Amino acid sequence: MSRPPFLGQIEQNYPRLSKGHKRIADYILRDYDKAAFMTAAALGEAVGVSESTVVRFAAENGWKGYPDLQKYLQEMIRSRLTSIQRLQAAHVKLGNDNIMEGAMGADAEMIRRTLEQVSQEEFKAVVDAINRAEHIYIQGTRSSAVLANFLALYLNILHPGVIYVDAFSASQTYEQLLRINERDLCIAISFPRYSKRTVTALRFARDRGACAVAITDTLLSPIAALSQHVLLARCDAVSFVDSLVAPMSLINALLAACAQSQGDHVYDTLRDLEDVWAKYEIYAEITDHE
């Protein structure tokens, strides 16, 4: 994993640091991927200084406090972490006691933080863009394909022009995006580690005049810079994979808002669907077993 250039900020200040602060700097410069997921107390214990010394180190080196430094480290390295480094970071965060409680607690915290950071204005703007679009192209690869498929499945009930970009090769991706134009919307979903195919496909859609929406984890994400609208959801690693709970919750909210914006029309559509599902026995019935 290449070394991020922002660590030069710490290196530049290094000669002026106290002995304790140099210990912290040495650890971050050497193991920044681990430090990013450690509390101030844990980092202090690892290098043999107090928690307050770690807090002062952050404040004296250009950050508002230790949480600000930790957030910066996490956002800068999240897309760089290998699966092995993610697992190591998870061990630091969760420990070895109650893994289930720790993982589910982390998921709940990510939903809470997503609710705090998502822009209500941007959320409404995305709903309006969906309602205005002639066609809506939804794309996401690898783990984000699960989110893209879910969004496309239910948005298709609300909008007649939904196209799920389901491609196994780059050529298929561009073939499915071939007719996208300025009347259309492209929703790209990507979380660490970011997919190059999603980035290049979104750039293709933008070059053809389509409005672009990014659902991702940070404004540093490569698809955020390509989009007119960005919805942010927390997606921190709780093991060797990132949790998709908060992004899924955000997508649920987006679908609910789109349905509400359609008024009585959505009820007519759902009644027609229920008739079709019943006629062709799409769903299994729950029966009593004696």
Span(s) in the chain for CATH 1.10.10.10: 5-77
Residues forming CATH 3.40.50.10490 domain(s) in the chain: 113-279
Coil, strand or helix at 45: helix
Please check whether residue 245 is in contact with residue 110, taking contact to mean a CB–CB distance below 8 angstroms: yes
Contact predicate 223/214, CB 8 Å: yes
pLDDT at 2: 43
pTM above threshold 0.85:
no
pLDDT means per 10 residues in the chain (290 residues)?
55 86 89 84 94 93 87 70 57 63 82 89 96 97 93 95 86 91 97 90 96 92 94 76 89 96 86 89 75
Residues 35, 57 contacting (CB under 8 angstroms): no
Sheet (strand 162-164) strand order:
162-164, 136-139, 185-189, 211-216, 229-232
Q: pLDDT at position 1, please?
A: 40
d(CA 83, CA 170): 24
Q: Would you state the pLDDT for residue 7?
A: 63
CA distance 165 to 284: 29
The CATH superfamily holding the domain 113-279 is Glucose-6-phosphate isomerase like protein; domain 1 (3.40.50.10490)
In CATH terms, the fold of domain 5-77 is Arc Repressor Mutant, subunit A (1.10.10)
Largest Cα separation within the chain, whole Å, is 79
* pLDDT given for residue 80 in this prediction: 59
Give the pairing of strands 229-232 and 211-216: parallel
Cα distances (Å, whole numbers) of residue 173 to 91, 113, 163, 184, 226: 37, 33, 12, 16, 18
Kindly report the number of other CB atoms within 10 A of residue 263's CB atom.
8
